[in-house]
Amino acid sequence: MSDAALPLNDSDLSALYRKDRFEMPEGLIYLDGNSLGPLPKTVPPRMADAVSRQWGNSLVKGWNEAGWFKLPSVVAAQLEPLIGAEPGSVAVGDSTSINLFKVLSAALKMSGSRRRILSDSGNFPSDLYIAEGLVSLVGSGFHLMALPSDKVEAAIGADVAVVMLTEVDYRTGQRRNMRSVTQAAHAAGALVIWDLSHSAGALPVRLADCNADFAVGCGYKFLNGGPGAPAFLYVAPRHAESLVPTLSGWMGHSAPFAFESSYRPASGIEKMQAGTPPILSLIAFSTALELFKDLDLEALHARSLQLGDLFIAEMARRCPYLELATPRDHRLRGSQVSFRHANGYEVMQALIARDVIGDFRSPDIIRFGITPLYISHDDIIRASATLEQILRDRLWDTDTYRVRAAVT
């Protein structure tokens, strides 16, 4: 990953800064693209056409006439270069949790006598929940071991079937070294599943170069695919033909419209499809991915790191008592900056009320996604000044900001 310097002058970064391509309220500083990406301006007209012309006029003929049936493969092909995947190795559809169930259950079938799933106790909870549920379902002595982050790699031993990790930690933004972890797992005879939810679209991901086995990720964060956008999964081509899917849905059948009574898996990655694809969501997602067509992800991440450095430096100067939760080292950082504060929820509500949008993660993390597509140097300075004022004057300390919403 690059530490190369880029100028902080926005006028010199027109190839990266694309705020005019997003719907964004005037004066808003949006630092929450790591939770939900903003709306690309190209999406509403495409969606309107999909609803009124394709669905409205074509009706069921749209599956053939509008290319709906092939749309998951189209979106997969758009995603593959963004995550460093080989052609034909990505399937799109369902949620990240369902896709994790798919690849984890497939990996366990390949595990031989090994029975341990190894993960990080700070992993995104849904990943751990899926592993717990799958272990309960299959039995056979499988068990999940979730260790503190810094203990995981040393615990990769001969009893480990699958190492299940997130490339970028959702709370702190710490980035794991995909290459070294994958090499360590393979040396011990284990398979690796990577969750790319906080890295896809934010930084260069190199699944093929790192010899990854499996990966999953969501489409609604840095990829800007919209609320609940379809997720994706990756299977290394060396595993694809021998893989046996547990969720053997009709869209993963070799001939879905033959309507055979028994399952015959499709070849390659297609067997990992399950149910009917969500066409309207896929159209929005595909349209959003067009923003990345000519984008240099190395430069994007380098700029993100610079803006993150600026944010860290500003807060260290303005509020030296605020604890940084994110690594300073570029090699260990995704596209996120997080701080710890005992009243983090209230602080974030005060920020949001002043048009600086981040989010809160329990127990004490205030979290900011740094996306150079629509975040500028001036935005970081303004956000820092607003956060300083809130903390200095205890503007967060009101009953209004203590009321917890359903989504934090």
Residues that are catalytic:
124, 195, 220-221, 367
Q: What share of the chain is helix, strand, coil (3-state, %, to 5)?
A: 40, 15, 45
Answer yes or no: is 125 a known binding residue: yes
| CB-count exposure of residue 257 (10 Å: 0-12, 13-18, 19+) | exposed
Answer yes or no: is 379 a known binding residue: no
Answer yes or no: is 124 a known binding residue: yes
Answer yes or no: is 129 a known binding residue: no
Answer yes or no: is 245 a known binding residue: no
Angle (nearest 5°) at CA 149 between 146 and 155: 60
Task: Tell me the C-alpha to C-alpha distance, in Å, between residue 229 and each of 71, 154, 247, 283, 307.
Answer: 14, 36, 20, 10, 27
Residue with tokens 């990655």: 269
Other residues' Cβ atoms within 10 Å of the Cβ of residue 36: 20
Answer yes or no: is 250 a known binding residue: yes
Residue type at 343?
Answer: N
Q: Which helix (H) or strand (E) holds 138?
A: helix 125-138
Task: Tell me the C-alpha to C-alpha distance, in Å, between residue 267 and each of 9, 76, 117, 191, 408.
Answer: 50, 16, 27, 21, 42
Answer yes or no: is 195 a known binding residue: yes
Q: How far apart are CA 243 and CA 245, in angstroms?
A: 6
Q: What six digits make up the tokens of 282?
A: 């896929």
Q: How far apart are CA 24 and CA 307, in angstroms?
A: 20
Coil, helix or strand at residue 331: helix
In the 8-state DSSP scheme, what is residue 24? -
Task: Tell me the C-alpha to C-alpha distance, in Å, between residue 96 and each of 124, 198, 230, 362.
Answer: 11, 12, 8, 21
Answer yes or no: is 220 a known binding residue: yes
Q: How far apart are CA 343 and CA 297, in angstroms?
A: 35
Q: How far apart are CA 223 and CA 292, in angstroms?
A: 9
Answer yes or no: is 386 a known binding residue: no
Bridge partner list, 340: 323, 365
| Residues contributing to the annotated binding site for pyridoxal 5'-phosphate | 96-97, 124-127, 166, 195, 198, 220, 250, 276
